[in-house]
Amino acid sequence: LDARTAYAKAHTYYSHKQYNQAIKSFRHFVRTHGGDQRAAKAHYMLGRAHQSAGHYTKAEQVFRTVHERYGSPAALYRIASLSVRRNREDKAISAYANFAKRYPQHDLADDALWQAAKAAERKSQFARAATLYGRLAEHYPQTDYGDEARWSVGFAFYCQEQYSEALAVFERASQQARQPHIIDQSLYWAGKSAERLGQTQDATAFYRRAAAGFPRSYYSARAVLLGHKEQVQLKKRPTDNPRQDDVPALAHRAHLERAGLLNQLGLRDWSVAEMEQAVRDYKGHKTALKAIRDYYEALGYRDQAMRLSLRLFDGQDPEELSRIYPTYYWEEIAEAAAEAQIDPYLVLSVIRQESTFNEKAVSRAGARGLMQIMPHTGLNLARRLEVKPFELRALFDPAVSIRLGSYFLGDQMRQFTTDAGADLGFELGLAAYNAGPHNARRWLKTFPSEDPDAFVERIPFKETRLYVKLVLRNYAIYKALSDDA
């Protein structure tokens, strides 16, 4: 094969996750076409293929060769990332920091400092983490990491029980941050630091300022849940059950009428296609789109209604907030939550985060339905709850998904509301739901658990850390929208 075809063949194997074939093909390319302009890229991709196949030692050897032979910064960055994969945090810290020092202008320099600081934080090397976060904030202030890095310096001080230093950093970060959620986060942690210093009045003032941002961020919601904002009740929509004849007349109803007829015939996909065309026809017409959103709900297409509500929400209309935090499937949720002995608004919050109310949702990992239950988990839960007969396709049934998911969530929360995790029932239960009970138990053993806020911030998986925060923010908003607010 000529060089171009040989490279394309190897890359095709890699793209289709045929890693062993990709390794053979890239290795052959490097040996056969060493003088080709694609040789450096092929050698680098050989390392990527080894890494994807789980051959971490071999991958590191290849990346070292690539860096030495071609001077590839990307190869050096990969060496650092492999150290994280192999739980060699000290080595990762040094490798990432070295990358940022050698290639300060590289697009990944700020990311390398962030990864180095996070690795130091995971190892409880907070002084080292503070230094790395400080370098990041100083040298890359305008990047996406700038605000977070400034806050993280304060968090490192807080974890070392240096509360005066932490308070000063958090207060300064609240004034310098560009992102609203970092402002709320900084104010909240300034409150925690002041509280640790016995400055009760200052702490309350900081918490109230954080709560004033509600419902825009996790920490504004956290401050509200802790009682730092009086009489929080958001505007609710008049009804959650629009009828088809409630939808205001539109100038061109043909697509909506066809959608209704197709829905009656059970042809959902065609019906949704007609609705989507109506959305395109009325692009930019907010009143018309709201009417179409109501018709989505009338036809039972809740996930489509939710998607359109998110598109329409601009933060200016308080009544629209309840449309992006709907109470779909409330009867099923209330019944399942009662059986599982958990708050129905927590179940609602999980569904919103897991599937945005798409009962047919399937994740890349294979999780299914409203509450994104993995098939093997679904089988075990169905057996425990004596759901008979049970087939995997039942996970797409809203009532089944809600019942099994609620039971699993409640079970996780109860398991962790004991002993060391007594104050972390919500947080650990949600972490277990997202990342698995084994990971949640490992984190409980690894990190101090007396401070729920600090524990959440130290969850190593970014996806899980964000998941816990988003579900708890959903929960605070749902509670504020509820009749119990």
Task: Give residue limits of the domains in the chain.
Answer: 244-324, 330-481
Reply yes or no on whether the pLDDT at 317 is more than 50: yes
- Check if the beta carbon of residue 482 is closer than 8 Å to that of residue 237: no
Taking the C-alpha atoms of residue 348 and residue 73, their distance in angstroms, rounded to an integer, is: 46
Architecture of domain 244-324: Alpha Horseshoe (1.25)
The single residue listed with the structure tokens 């130091």 is 120
Structure tokens given for 431: 């972490």
| Residue 161 parent element (H or E) | none
Reply yes or no on whether the pLDDT at 71 is more than 90: yes
Q: Supply the mean pLDDT for the chain.
A: 92
Q: Which of 148, 274, 354, 457 is catalytic?
A: 354
Reply yes or no on whether the pLDDT at 116 is more than 90: yes
Q: How many CA atoms lie within 13 A of 9 on its CB side?
A: 15
pLDDT band at 240 (very low <50, low <70, confident <90, very high): very low
Q: What is the pLDDT of residue 249?
A: 54
Angle 372-374-377 from CA coordinates, rounded to 5°: 120
Q: What is the pLDDT of residue 269?
A: 94
Average pLDDT (272-297) is 92
Tally DSSP H helices, then E strands, for the chain: 26, 0
Average pLDDT (473-482) is 93
- Least confident residue range of 204-218, 222-236, 438-452: 222-236
Q: What is the pLDDT of residue 174?
A: 98
Reply yes or no on whether the pLDDT at 222 is more than 80: yes
- Check if the beta carbon of residue 357 is closer than 8 Å to that of residue 306: yes
Taking the C-alpha atoms of residue 479 and residue 140, their distance in angstroms, rounded to an integer, is: 39
Choice between 238 and 23, residue whose per-residue pLDDT is larger: 23
Taking the C-alpha atoms of residue 101 and residue 457, their distance in angstroms, rounded to an integer, is: 27
Fold for 330-481, please state it: Lysozyme (1.10.530)
Structure tokens given for 43: 């050698």
Average pLDDT (434-447) is 93
Q: What is the pLDDT of residue 253?
A: 81
For residue 222, CA distances in Å to 163, 184, 214, 431 come to 20, 10, 9, 17
Taking the C-alpha atoms of residue 353 and residue 444, their distance in angstroms, rounded to an integer, is: 24
Contacting residues for 272 by C-beta, under 8 A, at least 6 apart: 259, 301, 304
pLDDT band at 70 (very low <50, low <70, confident <90, very high): very high
Contacting residues for 64 by C-beta, under 8 A, at least 6 apart: 75, 79
Q: What is the pLDDT of residue 369?
A: 96
- Least confident residue range of 14-28, 245-259, 364-378, 391-405: 245-259
Taking the C-alpha atoms of residue 274 and residue 280, their distance in angstroms, rounded to an integer, is: 10
Reply yes or no on whether the pLDDT at 352 is more than 80: yes
Taking the C-alpha atoms of residue 471 and residue 243, their distance in angstroms, rounded to an integer, is: 30
Reply yes or no on whether the pLDDT at 283 is more than 70: yes
The answer for 82, left when phi > 0, alpha when psi is -120 to 50, beta otherwise, is alpha
CB atoms within 10 A of CB 450: 10
Reply yes or no on whether the pLDDT at 156 is more than 70: yes
- Check if the beta carbon of residue 406 is closer than 8 Å to that of residue 340: yes
Task: Assess whether 320 carries a catalytic annotation.
Answer: no
Q: Could you tell me what percent of the chain has a pLDDT over 70?
A: 93
Reply yes or no on whether the pLDDT at 243 is more than 50: no
- Of the candidates 430, 378, 376, 432, the residue with the CA atom closest to the CA atom of residue 400: 378
Reply yes or no on whether the pLDDT at 81 is more than 90: yes
The single residue listed with the structure tokens 């079970």 is 411
- Check if the beta carbon of residue 424 is closer than 8 Å to that of residue 444: yes
Residue 373, SS3? Answer: strand
Taking the C-alpha atoms of residue 212 and residue 201, their distance in angstroms, rounded to an integer, is: 17
